[in-house]
Amino acid sequence: MSAHSSRSAGAGRRAAIAVVLVVLLSPFLWLLQMSFKSNDLILQFPPPLIFTPTLENYTSLWHGAFSASFINSLLSASFSTGFALLFGIPAAYALSRWTGSGRQALGFAILVTRMAPPIAFTIPFFLFYRWIGLLDTITGLVLVYTSFNLPLVIWMMQPFFETVPRSLEEAALVDGAGIRTVFVEIVLPMVTPGIAATAILCFLYAWNDFFFALILTRTNARTAPVAVVNFMNYEGWEWGKIAAGGSLVMAPVLIFSLAVRRYLVSGLTAGAVKG
Amino acid sequence: MTATNLIDAERRSFNRWALAPSLVILFVIAALPALYLLAASLTPFQLVNPGSSTDFSEPLRNYRLLPGDPRFINSLIVQAKLSFWGVLFQVLLGMLLALLLHTRSRFVALARTFFLIPMVLPPIVVGVIWKLIYTPDISPIYYVAGLLHVTMPSLTSSVNFALTAIIIADTWEWLPFTFLMVLAALQTIPEEYSEAALMDGAGRVQIFFHITLPFIAPILTVSAMFRLIDSVKAFPLIFLLTGGGPGSVTEVTNYYAYLLAFDFNEIGYSSAITIVMLMLVVVMSLGIMWMGRNREALT
């Protein structure tokens, strides 16, 4: 064996990777194929390798109450992402130019808000919402998701701002430009890829949430993940529709997360390690 | 006042304006709920009994009840089992997968992306996927078992297998995380090391134990810690697959606290349990920060 071959993929290794990939993804593929089958076909074993896919699960799901939940999810995830970016980006910039102490403490606070079990926040939030009448509203959800995405924005945007050369800013400042102008017209355009990645991660966190939505919503503001579960519990075992619901909930996630896979690790670990 | 001073002053005021809203929000979402939770944990607060939320006559009652509550003790044991086996499998299998995929090739680079799918799926969809796999009528596993004349018990409602079923689903979901972390670490190992070792006649196994493993050991520890903290949050899988049952075989502490607060209306007692969990998480997070800083000091 030459020294080089340990790093290049041989045919054996490729085959092994392909087999492992198929085995690992088979539960996911099982859900996907089931969403295109009629209920009779789902119960048929051995499963036919070739069948005529049907969209009836999707269409009947969409004409029911599910579409409203899907829109609720879309609204709460989008608005909370927007607000989190609005507050978080200037804060991240200020912190990246911060020379004093307190950064460590803030980093720790951010880590804890990400790591703490959601129930620690749901009990106070639930009681507070019940008191001021925000239970089962989109506003309530947007508020929760914004506050949990804010630490993520602050954490993820700092390294991007650090890559902007300070000499650029200083030159503009000496020329008499205000710091707000420098921030908006010079710094921000240089970190747009970072903003895009951060925005997608925020959207995914809000979209994927189940626990907050389960407790803070009932019917009006019910999100898509909760709707899928309700469907499972109350409307009988219509497996095709359940599979279609699951597929619809995961569709945006798959598309977006593959786009930002480079940043997934640092987002997931809240930056405590360099991904 | 010189121009630089003016700029500095302007920057300071800008910083204040930029940071203030975020600090206020962080305080409101992190500090206030924690304080409220702490206060609630000192009362016998029940939703059906409004006056109880401000009854501080016997503040440590809930904490005194904890050690004698068999369901709480059981939930800690279930949590320990779930965390131990889940983290162990995730780290081991994640590492093996990373070793397998640590090569230079376009095909492999593309494959890596697909290996990440389970981790990015909404947790509730992971629950649905495994529900389909664990439901006898529609599951390919039960069909194959039938062909082989093996009678499989219903995994999620069997006292002996329910927790295992959760551990399998959890491992499937989070394997990509350790995989990704270990792969990143593997890519930082200078190639000369293993090349030199190969020249000296070292075998693959020797290279793994003497070069690779020491190199990735810190990242294995950090990933294990992250997964450990996250495993305390286990909820959607349990909610969807077993509901904590059968009995309380899969009822982890988080789930018990949820049932107490939102099914049994025992807000005060649930808050006390949550405070205990929160303290565990803070200690573990400090551990991670400490390890992270040590690692930075080394490199």
Record: contact B103-A9, CB cut-off 8 A? yes
Residue B11 is assigned to a structural domain of this protein: no
* Average pLDDT along chain B: 85
pLDDT higher at A235 or A126: A126
Query: What's the pLDDT band for A81 if we cut at 50, 70, 90?
Result: very high
Please state the rounded mean pLDDT for residues A64-72.
Answer: 90
Write the pLDDT tens digit of every residue in B93-121. 999 999 998 887 777 777 888 888 898 89
Under a CB-based contact definition with an 8 Å cutoff, are residues B257 and B273 in contact? yes
- Token readout for B13 is 């005021």
A69 inside 8 A of chain B by CB: no
Give domain limits for chain A.
3-34, 56-268
Please give the C-alpha separations between residue A238 and each of A176, A242, A243, B225, B240, in angstroms, as whole numbers. 67, 6, 9, 39, 16
Write the pLDDT tens digit of every residue in A180-206. 888 888 889 888 888 988 898 899 889
Please state the rounded mean pLDDT for residues A75-82.
Answer: 96
A43 inside 8 A of chain B by CB: yes
Please give the C-alpha separations between residue B68 and each of B22, B65, B267, in angstroms, as whole numbers. 42, 6, 18
- Of the candidates B174, B154, B143, the one whose C-alpha atom is nearest the C-alpha of residue B237 is B174
Residue B18 is assigned to a structural domain of this protein: no
B281 inside 8 A of chain A by CB: yes
A vs B, Cβ pairs < 8 A, gives 266
Model confidence at A66: pLDDT above 70: yes
Distance between CA atoms of B269 and B45, rounded to whole angstroms?
Answer: 8
In the stretch 179-218 of chain A, residues with CB closer than 8 A to chain B read 179-180, 183, 204, 207-208, 210-211, 214-215
> For residue A263, what pLDDT is reported?
67
> For residue B83, what pLDDT is reported?
93
> For residue A24, what pLDDT is reported?
93
ipTM metric: 0.85
Residue B208 is assigned to a structural domain of this protein: yes
Identify all chain A residues contacting B144, using CB atoms and an 8 Å cutoff: none
Model confidence at B201: pLDDT above 90: no
Write the pLDDT tens digit of every residue in B9-48. 888 888 888 888 888 888 887 788 889 899 988 888 887 7
Cβ-based neighbours of A92, under 8 Å, separated by 6 or more: A153, A154, A155, A156, A157, A158, A160, A161
- Closest residue to A109, CB basis, from B26, B121, B267: B26
Model confidence at A4: pLDDT above 50: no
Record: contact A30-B240, CB cut-off 8 A? no
Record: contact B222-A273, CB cut-off 8 A? yes
Distance from CA of B68 to the nearest CA of A (A): 22
> For residue B295, what pLDDT is reported?
58
> For residue A83, what pLDDT is reported?
95
Model confidence at A275: pLDDT above 70: no
Place of tokens 């993804």: A25
Please state the rounded mean pLDDT for residues A40-54.
Answer: 79
Distance between CA atoms of A57 and A239, rounded to whole angstroms?
Answer: 9
| pTM of the shown model | 0.86
Residue B252 is assigned to a structural domain of this protein: no
Distance from CA of B204 to the nearest CA of A (A): 9
Record: contact B117-A25, CB cut-off 8 A? yes
Residue B182 is assigned to a structural domain of this protein: yes
> For residue B34, what pLDDT is reported?
86
In the stretch 83-142 of chain B, residues with CB closer than 8 A to chain A read 97, 100-105, 107-108, 111, 113-125, 127-133, 137-138, 140
Model confidence at B78: pLDDT above 90: yes
Distance between CA atoms of A145 and A126, rounded to whole angstroms?
Answer: 14
Distance between CA atoms of A225 and B82, rounded to whole angstroms?
Answer: 24
- Closest residue to A180, CB basis, from B14, B19, B232: B14
Please state the rounded mean pLDDT for residues B215-227.
Answer: 85
Residue B147 is assigned to a structural domain of this protein: yes
Residue B107 is assigned to a structural domain of this protein: yes
Residue B209 is assigned to a structural domain of this protein: yes
Give the residue from chain A lying closest to B144, CA to CA. A46
Record: contact A272-B292, CB cut-off 8 A? yes
B162: containing domain = 80-219
> For residue B298, what pLDDT is reported?
46
Record: contact A112-B30, CB cut-off 8 A? yes
Model confidence at A68: pLDDT above 70: yes
From the options 3.30.70.260, 3.30.479.30, 1.10.3720.10, 3.10.450.100, give the CATH code of A56-268. 1.10.3720.10
Place of tokens 């991904």: A275
Model confidence at B293: pLDDT above 80: no
Record: contact B281-A117, CB cut-off 8 A? yes
Query: What's the pLDDT band for B274 if we cut at 50, 70, 90?
Result: very high
* Average pLDDT along chain A: 83
Number of separate domains in chain B = 1
CATH of the domain at B211: 1.10.3720.10
Residue of B23, B48, B125 best to disrupt the A interface, most CBs of A under 10 A: B125
